[in-house]
Amino acid sequence: MPFWLVPAFFGTALLYASVGFGGGSTYSALLALAGTDYRVLPILSLACNIVVVTGGTIRFARAGEMPWPGALAVSLVAAPLAFLGGLTPIGQGAFLALLGASLVFAALALLLPVAKDGEVRAQPAWAMPAAAAPLGYLAGLVGIGGGIFLAPLLHLTRWDGARRIAATASLFILINSISGLIGQLAKSGADRFGEALAGGLPLLIAVVIGGQIGSFLALRYLPTQVIRWLTGALTGWVGLRLLLH
């Protein structure tokens, strides 16, 4: 494992945690650029995702920002499809192309305006879970949590206020990462999980530290829009590198 992956994972976790995401999409791209076996790659990315967003989900819940009925409906509908995505066989070329394209899309989505608390629009109860279902499958297929796709959709439709959307995305990432990881392990075997953890322990430690610092900076110092621009720039750069590579 190249040494540069450790600071890269630290910086990714710091930025993504600042805007309520886990960073799984960029972890996967960085691992791909480092030449990691693409069968191990989503397992390690999802494990890092779970580590980062668990703390954020707990903080949102304690602060009373989690819209439990809507967040659970969106997450639990997508979770079985994340499991199926994790089970789906995919070749290396298709995997890397899909991941790179997903990163570029996510980078553009991060530049979209954020919903404000006074702009909430009533939605049919079934609409957002139905829209989130295919996102769950894509998340499981490429080894990400999917929140980076869900959050822009929630903002565009003015589904809720900004903090409650961030809370929903955090829970969505956590549940889908767990479900996708189970699917990946069912496809690849438990031995692959041991292989991923054996080589990826420094990366897990890096994202724990980076995620905590990112949450602190977001709350105390950095404007949310600046963080979103920085995160979008990182995501787009890595996605383009992956596609060109």
Residue among 214, 216, 142 at smallest CA distance from 181: 142
Distance between CA atoms of residues 200 and 223, nearest Å: 32
Structural domains counted in the chain: 1
Q: How many CB atoms lie within 10 A of CB 221?
A: 10
**Residue 233, pLDDT score:** 84
pLDDT at 116: 67
Residue 138, CA distances (Å) to 31, 141, 162 in order: 18, 5, 24
Please report the pLDDT score of residue 244 as a whole number: 86
Average pLDDT over residues 207-218: 82
Phi, psi of 40 (to 5 degrees): -85, -30
Domain that holds residue 170: 5-239
Is 87 a domain residue? Answer: yes
| Helix intervals (H) in the chain | 5-18, 24-33, 41-62, 68-87, 92-109, 127-142, 147-156, 162-188, 190-220, 224-244
Q: Is 31 in contact with 6 (CB distance < 8 Å)?
A: no
pLDDT of residue 222: 62
Q: Output the pLDDT for position 84.
A: 96
Does residue 94 fall inside a structural domain? yes
Give the distance from CA 135 to its chain's centroid.
11
Burial grade of 35 (CB within 10 A; 0-12, 13-18, 19 or more)? exposed
Average pLDDT, integer, range 22-33: 88
- Give yes or no for residue 219 having a pLDDT over 60: no
Does residue 98 lie within any of the structural domains? yes
Q: What is the DSSP letter of 64?
A: T
Q: What is the mean pLDDT of the chain?
A: 87
Q: Which two tokens stand for residue 227?
A: 């963080």
CA nearest neighbour of 146 among 9, 5, 28: 28
Q: Which range has the worst mean pLDDT, 76-90, 151-165, 169-183?
A: 151-165
> Does 70 map to a domain?
yes
Question: d(Cα 35, Cα 177) in Å, to the nearest integer?
Answer: 22
User: Is residue 245, in this structure, part of any structural domain at all?
Assistant: no
Q: Is the pLDDT of residue 118 over 70?
A: no
Residue that the structure tokens 């692959």 belong to: 192
CA–CA separation, 72 and 89 (whole Å): 28
91 found inside a domain: yes
Q: How far are the Cα atoms of 70, 130, 150 from residue 127, in angstroms, in the given order? A: 11, 5, 13
Query: What distance, in Å, lies between the first and last C-alpha atoms of the chain?
Result: 18
pLDDT band at 203 (very low <50, low <70, confident <90, very high): very high
Q: Identify the residue with better confidence: 164 or 20.
A: 164
